[in-house]
Amino acid sequence: MNVETLYGLGAAALVGIGLYGLIVLAHPLRKIIAFNVMGSGVFVLFGALAKRGAAAGLHADPVPQALLITAIVVAFAASALAVALIVRLIESTDSASLASDPPDGSRD
């Protein structure tokens, strides 16, 4: 198996792991972490595709790689916004519940 396929398959698994966590985990901060795992799986898949595109003396296709750099920075900005939302949610409701009708146990 060549390196690209190996990382491509690993990336597919990362997306699966992240998606599972995103659905199952209840706490929004944990959801953000799971979402980032899923996102990085997509990035690695993209990176593997870039590596397949090696041609013209370049080791990889620079276009997807440039987009990856953009994507990593934007993913950080999106996570920062999500974290700020959670912090605000906790400060104003004392609960991090995303349910429209929080259970009684969620207030301390």
Partner 1 sequence: MTGNIVSLAIVLLLLALAVWAVVARNAFLAIAGFVAYGLLLSLVWVRLHGVDVALTEAAIGGGLTGAMLIGAVSRLRGTEAAARAERSGAGVHVLALLLSLGVAATLALCVLVLPDPAPTLAPQVAQNLAVTGVGNPITGVLLAFRALDTLLEAIVLVIALIGVWSLAPERFWGGRPGLRHQADPDGILAYFARLLPPLGIVFAVYIFWAGADHPGGKFQSATILAAMWTLVLMAGLADTPRIDHRALRFGIVVGPLVFIAIGVLGLFSAGALLAYPPQWAKPMIVVVEVALLPTLTLVLGLLLAGAPARRGGGA
- The nearest distance, CB 13 to partner 1, in angstroms, is 6
Least Å distance between CB 68 and partner 1?
5
Using CB under 8 A as the binding rule, the residues of this chain from 88 to 107 that contact partner 1 are: 88, 90-91, 94-97, 99, 103, 105-107
Contact 30, 59 (CB under 8 A): no
Provide the CB-side half-sphere exposure for 16 (13 A, CA): 6
Q: Identify the CA nearest to 32 among candidates 41, 42, 22.
A: 22
- Which residues inside 8-47 make contact with partner 1, applying CB under 8 A? 8-21, 23-27, 29-30, 32-34, 36-37, 40-41, 44-45, 47
Q: What is the separation of C-alpha 42 from the centre of its chain, rounded to a whole number of angstroms?
A: 8
Number of residues counted as binding partner 1 (CB under 8 A): 86
CB 39, min distance to partner 1, A: 11
CA–CA separation, 80 vs 13, rounded Å? 25
Contact map string, positions 55 to 84, toward partner 1, x by CB under 8 A: xxxxxxxxx-xxxxxx-xxx-xxxxxx-xx
Minimum distance between the CB of residue 55 and partner 1, rounded to whole angstroms? 4
- Distance spanning both ends of the chain, measured CA to CA: 54
